Amino acid sequence: MTTRHLLVLAILALCGLAFVMPSPSPVPQDLKPPSELALLMRNMASFMDTAKSHTVRGIDRPPYPEQFKKMKTATPTEGMVEHAVFDPFADFFLTTLDSYYKAKKKDRVQRYNALVQACANCHMQVCPGPLVRIKKMYVPLPEPIPTKKK
């Protein structure tokens, strides 16, 4: 047999072994259901998407999300929230949310963006995963009209 034949036979034998050998068993994952706070944060993201749409279109704000007041008492994912850090951010978010709802129509974009920034400030400290999504929530501010210099 030539070297070429031996090489082809070796490749075929290795391919045959690949089909005969058992595949490694998948590692079981211990997936837990999302925590109360994680579910609330998902609702907050959905609310922010709706609020952005309303703000951009200049229509009235969505109904006030009373459930967000449970932020500090909602059960977090184990090991994810240190209340000494999280609670002041939650208070600031709620204050900023009130400000958004009290804002005049002409100020809503700025107040909405302040609300997004409140989310970002917290997530920079507590749970950075959602920052990519949060950054997409901002409403671009209109460019200022340049004034003519005399």
Counting the structural domains of the chain, the total is 1
d(CA 32, CA 23): 26
d(CA 8, CA 43): 59
The dihedral over CA atoms of 49, 51, 56, 58, expressed in degrees to the nearest 10, equals 150
The range of the structural domain enclosing residue 125 comes to 36-135
Residue 112 lies in a domain: yes
* Inter-residue contact 45 to 69 (CB < 8 Å): no
Global model pTM greater than 0.85: no
Tell me what pLDDT residue 112 has. Answer: 97
d(CA 109, CA 49): 13
> Ranked by mean pLDDT, which of 18-32, 62-76, 136-150 comes out on top?
62-76
pLDDT tens sequence across 96-131: 999 999 999 999 999 999 999 999 999 999 989 999
* 8-state DSSP, 128: -
Tell me what pLDDT residue 69 has. Answer: 97
Q: What percent of the chain has pLDDT over 90?
A: 69
Residue 110 lies in a domain: yes
Residue 64 lies in a domain: yes
